Amino acid sequence: MLKVYNTLSGKKEIFKPIEEGKVGMYVCGNTVYDFCHIGHARAMISFDIISRFIRHLGYELNYVRNITDVDDKIIKRAQENNETTQTLTERMIAAQQEDELRLGNKMPNREPKATEFMQEIIDMVQVLIEKGFAYQGTSGDVYYRTTVFSEYGKLNNRKLEDMLAGARIDVEIAKEHPADFVLWKQTKEGEVFWPSPWGNGRPGWHIECSAMATNCLGSHFDIHGGGPDLKFPHHENEIAQSEAATGKQYVNYWMHCGAVRVNNEKMSKSLGNFFTVRDVLAKFNPEVVRYLMVSSQYRSAIDYSDQSLLEAKVALERLYTALRQQNIASSYAPTNYTERFEEAMKDDFNTALAVSVLFELVRELNKAKTEDQVKASELAAELLFLAELLGLLYQEPDYFLQNSTVSEGFDEVRIQELIDERTQARKDKNFARSDEIRDELVSNGIELLDSREGTSWTRS
């Protein structure tokens, strides 16, 4: 049975969907004012793998991930760029989708935008006011009344008073309590706005997700996921809003992926260790980045560095080398490797253990190449099937091995020209020139592999 670590209970639980055979999953997406960074990649890849395996188990999954396309940061960046918020967000959404496809992700079933749900947001705020869970402050903004929701803090297992200690809470005279948070903001001059019963304005961040999730998946659904920084206040506030508005339990299982640290420090622009996905993909094949994320269980923190990516590259090359010039069976009978892989994934999506099973499979595959080609081809097919559940090994082996890093030296055309020249030099018994070419390629990170079929190459 599938076991899932539930942040709400603080322990692993046997997964039981609300409706048999069907799963509803909502994941908090990005605020689209800038390019995706590697922390975003961590969350996107984690929940892509979770969605793949849930479907593999036979569930009909409705995977919804929102896009926040109206926010203070968006408005500020659009003003700095002298462009409209819509122009900015459309450009960043397109960039995000491009990054995700390069990283090997499959798209969610639905990606609702906050600006598409303004009426639903306004309706939920109105319900909260009518029930006494919200009020309009003296500033005109509408706030959630945290002191009225008796279970506030249950996701983080903390009392309201404890959460205030050391937390960054906006202190406003318009609020009844320091922990009250905004549901609807009055517009400022030059900002985008929507009309509402409380004046022209726009929604607060937290209410957007409550409205989108309940409208896309219902007032009670199975899984809600996101990054580690969202547990408080965002997800805590989502629970308070949604359960106060509907009178029902909001979500059964809360899932949060681990953080990405850079050389053991928190990633921050001020520290100069902030990397966008595009920064990283300028140096490494996208699958290397994906492997780094997959090689740790989704709840574990990942330490990002060039060294960790180089180690991921080497590990992935071992898998691809096993498939190089290897026939793939059109069908196969699953072995113990499939059973062990699935057991690892059923234990809260333990991709680290699942990956170790792939390497054991590769060892047997390499042995079978010299003993039983039929068995080798079947093991290769099994390897590809299991790897696909992690979004790995989707490239041609030769292509990956030649492009696992982005070389600033020789391109593929120049490499092939030199290989052809070396081949001719060897035919002419000009071994001095042949050795010169090999040395030149090696000094530029190109390793040659000579065989009866000819010469192939990889980037070392």
**Binding-site entries for Zn(2+):** 28, 209, 234, 238
Helices 336-346 and 373-389, axial angle in degrees (round to 10): 10
- For 186, residues 6+ apart whose C-beta sits below 8 A from its C-beta are 139, 140, 141, 198, 199, 200, 201
3-state helix, strand, coil in the chain (%, to 5): 50, 15, 35
Round to whole Å and give the CA distance between 66 and 110. 8
Residue ranges of the binding site:
28, 209, 234, 238, 269
- For 91, residues 6+ apart whose C-beta sits below 8 A from its C-beta are none
Round to whole Å and give the CA distance between 442 and 460. 8
- For 451, residues 6+ apart whose C-beta sits below 8 A from its C-beta are none
Round to whole Å and give the CA distance between 425 and 417. 12
For residue 113, the cross-strand partners are 67
Round to whole Å and give the CA distance between 117 and 393. 39
Helices 306-323 and 351-368, axial angle in degrees (round to 10): 40
Amino acid at 137: G
CA 51 to chain centre: 11
Residue ranges of the binding site for ATP:
269
Amino acid at 353: L
Round to whole Å and give the CA distance between 91 and 66. 16
Angle 354-357-358 from CA coordinates, rounded to 5°: 95
